[in-house]
Amino acid sequence: MGFQSVQSHYYLLVFYYNFIYKTIIMSSIISSIERLKKERQAIILAHNYQHPEVQDIADYVGDSLGLAQTAAKTDAKVIIFCGVHFMAETAAILCPDKTVLMPDPQAGCPMANMITPRELRNLRAQYPDAVVVTYVNSSAAIKAESDYCCTSSNAIKVVEKIPKEKRVIFIPDQHLGHYVQTQTKRDNMVLWRGYCPTHRRILPEDISKKKQLYPAALVVVHPECATEIVNMADQVASTSGILKYCRESKNETFIIGTEIGLIHRLKKENPDKTFIAASDLADCPNMKLNTPEKILWSLEDMVYKTTVPEDIAKLAMKSIRKMLEITG
């Protein structure tokens, strides 16, 4: 058999595999998920950074705040949380009477692990009068020892509420912290040096190259990006902010500097506009651990339950409530 013949057999095989997987296996997985969801009285929540097929199965897709608020409001008894661990923890804190399941228990956030309670206590000892503002990308144990929680959509608002003369310790994301510091013009913020490895993969040359290819495009980036990237942007916003900005803008083409999962939702909601990922490498391996198959197994076996010890949940709730009081 010649090389060309082997090659054409290979392509045929790939075609059949894709056809069988996408049309037959996937539709059977989806119908089993739908049936079990009813049986278990479950709801599927998915973060904006999830695989497109996970977003399409979900009952609600959003940012961590929207997901937590949806979890708190739902009548469902079971929440299948497709995101990362700290998000499922926040849902468990806000709805202690519901069962919160993660399809993959390994889906953690490296940034959330970049500060420990002991390190936070040391920081507090160093700056005893400071107010601790903690990005939602943190463990429940860290939230429990914080004054305020915030998300990327309300970090500026939360910090602005704190009297100017007060020192603010911002943890764990140095890039969001730096962005908030410049926007609120505070000179007394202490930034922890955590960061998101996925957003750090977006480099200044990625933006320059895409700008050359699409000169009319607007550059819209997430504040978890490095400061050089933030400085190159036309707009800096959270995922919900990026969605709103692109929806309302009259521009037709956008270069998106955040985790690439958001592109699916942007394209779905704005079919007439063009969205270009600043870097295809901004693909969070932790977020992408959730798959339709794992959602099905999660519903079948009622795994993997996310719980937060009661004492930690009570304290963490305080910092989350203080955020919600400010931002509504």
Residue 63, binding choice from ligand CIZ, ligand SF4, none, Cβ under 5 to 8 Å by partner class:
ligand CIZ
277 binds, among ligand SF4, ligand CIZ, none (CB under 5 to 8 A by kind): none
> Does residue number 136 form part of the binding site for ligand CIZ (CB under 6 A)?
yes
Which one of the spans 63-71, 157-165, 274-282, 301-309 is the region binding ligand CIZ (CB under 6 A)?
Answer: 63-71
CB of 311 to ligand CIZ, least distance (A): 25
284: contact with ligand CIZ by CB under 6 A: no
114 binds ligand SF4 (CB under 6 A): no
Q: Looking at the DSSP assignment, which residues form a beta bridge with residue 161?
A: none
**CA–CA gap between residue 159 and residue 283 (Å, rounded):** 29
Q: Quick one: 196 or 229, whose CB is closer to ligand SF4?
A: 196
84 part of the interface to ligand SF4, by CB under 6 A: yes
Task: Name the residue nearer to ligand SF4 (CB basis): 37 or 173.
Answer: 173
47 or 85, CB closer to ligand CIZ?
A: 47
- Token pair for 15: 């075609």
Please select the residue that binds ligand SF4; options are 137, 239, 279, 291, rule is CB under 6 A: 137
Work out which of 64, 90, 239, 286 binds ligand SF4, going by CB under 6 A: 286
Binding-site string for ligand SF4 from residue 241 to residue 280, where x marks contact by CB under 6 A and - marks none: ------------------x---------------------
Q: Is residue 291 a contact point for ligand CIZ (CB under 6 A)?
A: no
